[in-house]
């Protein structure tokens, strides 16, 4: 037995000891129910995050125990990357293989019932100095152009941090030579110059009509001429470019040019990007794109209308890439309220019959219910007047769209009287901080004096999106509720501070926003003890009746167990990253929290039914599957932490199942 095998065996024993097992009578595992895969990042192309499985249900979920653990070997504490890795992956289960991607772009194929490794592919990405280091998922496609039994009939696609799209043989992990050049497309072609880590892919491509469609992550707070946010569709068999959507305002075009480094630029720089997960409606031939910010995030005085598609959900024609409709969730976004979540498709009952619908979750805690054929709101949306007096060189939108149903899931006010603290002393310090900052609600204008942001750029809802339990007419969504402090820093002052930092070998304290009059300084609003100044809960899980838009239940999500320096495991709810899934068994599963647990909740009531200790932070969305009538149902989560959230880092893929009943 190798040292690696010994280490894995020890890990299983330790984790089994940590797992919280059910008590009382032995559980009889029911093998008569359905089987189901998890064939896409969000379970399916609609992003439902729902499974029809029933073997694990609200009556027996408290007996879950760890079935197996796999260690990827890919974790960094910041020694090689800017901050460290974030294991945010949701694996996919296709047929009898589980496919995982790691933060630094390895793809691992596992036996889904044992966790045994089948193959590993390493994209060999140089992540030195990269700020965001994660891979949220891969995509699977059966190639009808390849005969059964031949290599690469089934392909796994992964976008990389260094802007490649790679096609692998699903059976053995070797690159598919007929795709692009030796199995690789260079997504940086035509983008122009870019800094290390400034342009890459962290989300899985969407698959529709034999095409893969992808956007890219752009670090959009560095400079005005950041790489453009083009969305492109490629032939999934050959890798040939089929179409591109350059998110320019209507009527504008861009002529191919060459930049100062001599690189070809085919797509307008500084446009809004699409870093999150896309959805597709195959029946209607639509691709739904959640968009980010137009560079830079906190100053829009030089955008020249390029934020027309910012912070929106955009419906593209899958055949041509032309815009069918778009809905903007924030106008002239200078708050980093980009749309982070995958649009989720569902059928809304409607007053006059079923409506093909889409729900878009946002960092503001808003859920926009839209007709996915037209983009028209299903429930009323109000254009509310907001404060516009910020820096003189930027013109803010006088109104912002606010959904009336469902109600916002995040509070939109924070006063000095709301300040929270463990003691009167630190509560007083929080009160002083709030009093010193301007605040007129979520759309408080950016200023050089500093302003309070609540909801913050963290969310609200982030990339975890929502889960739709259609049989119950239910949506489940998690939110974070922490405030932030931001300040625009005049360019001369910012440059001086950056020069001093460089002399000391430190990173600049400000995000530069080069090409504008201002850098920006931002941090979370916390007490001297490092605890959020906003009142708890700092994280919630919410169940919504989507047939009426009413909130059925709302509960705090997570405890302070692993949140220093709080000495007790209070159920206050904590900041979270990741998302929920729901099942026909009446259970909603979610990790996401800053305490290291996977939890199960009753879908009908929100009651917490079970939690299992994880070996590292669970800042990922879990999945569940059952491969055959003789196998168990597994719930699997990537437990590797999130460097930016300072949760415990690791490289674990952890599977839970009911104990054997024989």
Residues annotated as part of the active site: 336
**For every residue of 96-159, which 3-state class applies, written as one string?**
CEEEEECCCCEEEEECCCCCCEEEEEECCCCCCCCCCCCCCCCEEEECCCCCCCCCCCEEEEEE
* Residue among 563, 565, 614, 566 nearest 590 (CA): 614
State how far Cα 540 lies from the chain centre.
17
C-beta of residue 45 within 8 angstroms of C-beta of residue 207: yes
Report the C-alpha gap between 411 and 382 in whole angstroms.
Answer: 17
For residue 37, say if its preceding peptide bond is cis, omega within 30 degrees of 0. Answer: no
Contact, 445 vs 325, CB < 8 A?
Answer: no
Choose among 582, 611, 590, 597: nearest CA to 540.
590
Those residues whose C-beta lies under 8 Å from the C-beta of residue 569, and which sit 6 or more positions away, are 559, 560, 561, 595
Strand pairing class (65-71; 92-94): unpaired
Question: Among the residues of 46-95, which ranges form H helices?
Answer: none
Cβ atoms of 218 and 198 within 8 Å: the answer is yes
The DSSP bridge partners found for residue 411 are none
CA 364 to CA 335: how far, in whole Å? Answer: 10
Q: Which residues contact 501 (CB under 8 A, 6 or more apart)?
A: 507, 508, 509
Query: Which residues on adjacent β-strands are paired with residue 554?
Result: 542
| C-alpha to C-alpha distance for 480 and 557, rounded to whole angstroms | 9
Residue-wise over 530-569: b if at least 16 C-beta within 10 A, else e?
ebbbbbbbbbbbbbbebeebeebbbbbbbbbbbbeebeee
- Tell me the pairing of strands 550-556 and 581-583: unpaired
Whether 414 contacts 481, CB under 8 Å: no
Closest to 638 in 3D by CA, of 41, 224, 25: 41
Contact 338, 347 (CB under 8 A): no
Backbone conformation region of residue 535, classed left if phi is above 0, alpha if psi is from -120 to 50, else beta? beta
Nearest residue to 390 (alpha-carbon basis) of 454, 432, 439 = 439
Select from 286, 336, 278 the least CA-distant residue to 307.
Answer: 336
């Amino acid at each position: 037995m190798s040292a690696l095998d010994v280490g894995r065996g020890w890990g299983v024993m330790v984790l089994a000891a940590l797992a919280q097992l059910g008590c009382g009578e032995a559980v009889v595992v029911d093998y008569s129910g359905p089987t189901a895969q998890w064939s896409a990042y969000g379970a399916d192309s609609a992003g439902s995050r729902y499974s029809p499985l029933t073997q694990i249900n609200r009556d027996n979920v408290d007996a879950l125990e760890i079935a197996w653990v796999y260690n990827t070997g890919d974790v960094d504490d910041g020694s090689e990357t800017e901050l460290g890795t974030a294991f945010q992956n949701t694996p996919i289960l296709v047929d009898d293989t589980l496919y995982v991607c790691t933060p630094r772009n390895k793809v691992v194929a596992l036996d889904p019932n044992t966790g045994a490794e089948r193959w590993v592919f390493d994209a060999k990405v140089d992540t030195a100095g990269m700020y965001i280091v994660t891979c949220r998922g891969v995509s699977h496609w059966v190639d009808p152009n390849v005969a059964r039994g031949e290599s690469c009939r089934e392909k796994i696609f992964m976008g990389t941090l260094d802007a490649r799209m790679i096609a692998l043989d699903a059976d053995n992990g070797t690159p598919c030579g007929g795709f692009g050049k030796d199995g690789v497309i260079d997504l940086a072609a035509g983008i122009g110059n870019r800094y290390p880590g400034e342009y890459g892919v962290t989300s899985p491509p969407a698959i529709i009509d034999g095409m893969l469609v992808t956007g890219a992550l752009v670090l959009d707070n560095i400079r005005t001429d950041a790489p453009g946010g083009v969305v492109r569709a490629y032939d999934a068999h050959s890798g040939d470019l089929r179409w591109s959507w350059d998110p320019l305002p209507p009527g504008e075009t861009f002529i191919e040019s060459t930049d100062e480094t001599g690189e070809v630029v085919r797509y307008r720089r500084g446009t809004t990007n699409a870093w999150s997960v896309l959805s597709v409606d195959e029946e209607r031939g639509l691709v739904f794109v959640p968009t980010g910010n137009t560079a830079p995030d906190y100053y829009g005085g030089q955008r020249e209308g390029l934020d027309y598609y910012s912070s929106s959900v955009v419906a593209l024609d899958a055949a041509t890439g032309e815009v069918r409709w778009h809905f903007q969730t924030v106008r002239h976004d200078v708050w980093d309220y980009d749309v982070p979540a995958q649009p989720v498709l569902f059928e809304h009952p409607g007053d006059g019959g079923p409506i093909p619908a889409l729900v878009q979750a946002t960092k503001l805690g808003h859920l926009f219910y839209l007709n996915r054929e037209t983009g028209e709101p299903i429930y009323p949306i109000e254009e509310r007047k907001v404060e516009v007096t910020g820096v003189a060189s930027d013109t803010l939108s006088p109104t912002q769209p606010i959904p009336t149903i469902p109600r916002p899931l995040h509070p939109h006010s924070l006063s000095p009287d709301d300040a929270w603290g463990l003691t009167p002393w630190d509560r007083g310090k929080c009160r002083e901080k709030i009093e010193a900052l301007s605040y007129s609600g979520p759309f408080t204008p950016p200023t050089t004096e500093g302003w309070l942001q609540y909801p913050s750029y963290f969310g609200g809802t982030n990339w975890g999106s929502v889960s739709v339990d259609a049989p119950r007419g239910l949506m489940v969504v998690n939110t974070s509720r922490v405030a932030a402090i931001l300040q625009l820093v005049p360019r001369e002052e910012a440059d001086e501070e950056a020069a001093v930092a460089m002399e000391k070998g430190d990173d600049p304290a400000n995000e530069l926003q080069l090409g504008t009059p201002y850098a920006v300084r931002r941090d979370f609003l916390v007490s001297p003890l490092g605890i959020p100044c906003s009142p708890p809960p700092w994280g919630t899980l919410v169940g919504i009746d989507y047939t009426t838009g009413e909130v059925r239940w709302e509960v705090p999500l997570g405890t302070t167990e692993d949140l220093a320096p709080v000495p007790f495991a209070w159920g206050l709810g904590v900041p979270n990253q990741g998302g929920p899934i729901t099942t026909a068994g009446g259970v909603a599963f979610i990790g996401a929290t800053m305490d290291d647990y996977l939890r199960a909740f009753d879908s009908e009531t929100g009651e917490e039914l079970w939690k299992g200790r994880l070996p590292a932070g669970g800042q990922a969305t879990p999945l569940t599957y059952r491969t055959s009538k003789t196998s168990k149902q597994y719930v699997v989560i990537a437990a590797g932490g999130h460097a930016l959230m300072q949760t415990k880092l690791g490289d674990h893929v952890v599977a839970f199942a009911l104990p054997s009943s024989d």
